Every structure is written in C-alpha cells, then in structure tokens.
Amino acid sequence: MSKLQNKVAYVTGAGSGIGKAIAVLYAQEGAKVVVSDINESHGNDVVELIKKEGGDAIFVKADTASAEDVERLVAKTVEQYGRLDIACNNAGIGGKQAMGADLSIEDWKTIIDINLNGVFYGCKYATQQMLKNGGGVIINMGSIHSITAVPGSVGYAAAKHAVLGLTRNFGIEYASQNIRVNAIGPGYIDTPLLDKLPSEQKDALVAKHPIGRLGKAEEVAQLALFLSTDDATFINGSYYNIDGGYTAV
C-alpha cells in the first residue's frame, strides 16, 4: 500500500531540485500534491510529470517571502483537496555572497525573507489548518549550514540556523495536538544550480563530503517521505543531516 494514500501535501520550491523530487515522490506514494514555486513554467512542468505518472497534482504560484502568498497557498490547497496533511517548506535561496560586514541590508533582508520568514509563514498557516484537521506533519528544509558556518554567506547561515529553532518550537508547542515538525539538513546536492559552477569549484565541494560525491535530490526526498509517514510518529522537533558525512568531520 502507498505510504501517503489519501494524504494531501504542498511543497514549496517544487519547480526544480529537491522540491521537485519531494513532490514527485509524495505523489508516487499516493498523496495529492500542491506544487508551489515562484517559477510558473517549472511548477507546471512538475504537475504534468506527476499526472503522466498517474498522480494527482495542481500548481499554485507563490512567493514564500510573502505572508499573503503562503496563506493563499494553504487556502488553495484546502479549496482543492479539502484538507492539508503535509506541509513541506522547502523554498530557499543561497543569496548574494559577501563577507558579513560587506553584505548590503537589502541583500540580507532578501535572504531572511525567503529562507526564514517564508518557513515561518508556512509553519504558521499550515499549523492553523492542521489544527482543524486533527493533526499533520511539517517538514522544514534546513541545511548543513544550520549547524556549521559558511564564510561569505552570513545571511544563509543565520537563516538556516534559525530554521532549527523555529522547527523545535513549533514541534513542542503543537506536539500534544498531533502535529509533528521536523527539519532536514542536506549537504551539497547535485542539482542544476551546481551545474553552473566551474568544474574545479564543484570538485572542491565534492571533496568536503567523505562519501566522495554530492548528494542526489531523490535521496533527500526519501528522508522527507520517511518523516512524513506514520513510520515516524515518535519523531518531533528534530533535525536530520543528510550530508555524506560533511558535518561529521
């Protein structure tokens, strides 16, 4: 039997990379999936892929930096499918790279708006709906840099560290009401974004992972799936690295 049969999920940043892999896997496991992304073309492509495989999905365009957009995403999910069981707050950006003192206020706010505020909005509005459902699961996308520094990306590291605090607080605040909230911390994942890097820079990233390669989006999706199922009913307020040993060194 499919692990997410009769469940309803949304995934933000689902137009490519990790978000796409999660959305597709959720659908393969029986969930009705709301694919959300700021890129309408990419999002619709994922919906079509899911439908070709026999799944049920719709696209809702949303900018996670906008509280109104995220609130509308949840409302559209419920309007289409009647409930919300799984919220995967995956959307994020690397942001402009600069040493801390050189990062502009505008660039700082952009990174925080998407990587932290967007996750808060997802937790807030998903929880409000899940309380009506009688429970649910929230998956927040952190990073290896939720627990490690990353020189030149102070905004990213700060936001991803904060996602852990957000996850833990929501997890304990609503545990008694059958809502589980957990975070995932991927290492560097081999997505189209990294294809733009010079080969020597990509090789340097590979070298940071003792396993000897970058991760795959599908591997992260498998962890998200596990945390979203009844196999993980005693896991709450937790953070899971999936990094090929990056943070163990």
Q: Which residues are catalytic?
A: 156
- Tokens read off for 32: 């009705």
Q: Is 82 left (phi over 0), alpha (psi -120 to 50) or beta?
A: left
Buried b (16+ CB within 10 A) or exposed e, 19-50: bbbbbbbbbbbbbbbbbbbbeeebbbbbbebb
Whether 18 contacts 33, CB under 8 Å: no
DSSP 37: E
Query: How would DSSP label each residue in 53-85?
Result: TT-EEEEEE--TT-HHHHHHHHHHHHHHHS---
State the CB neighbour count (10 A cutoff) for residue 119: 29
Name the residue among 52, 221, 53, 16 with its Cα closest to residue 35: 16
**What is the spatial distance between Cα 225 and Cα 233, in angstroms, rounded to a whole number?**
12
**What is the spatial distance between Cα 194 and Cα 201, in angstroms, rounded to a whole number?**
9
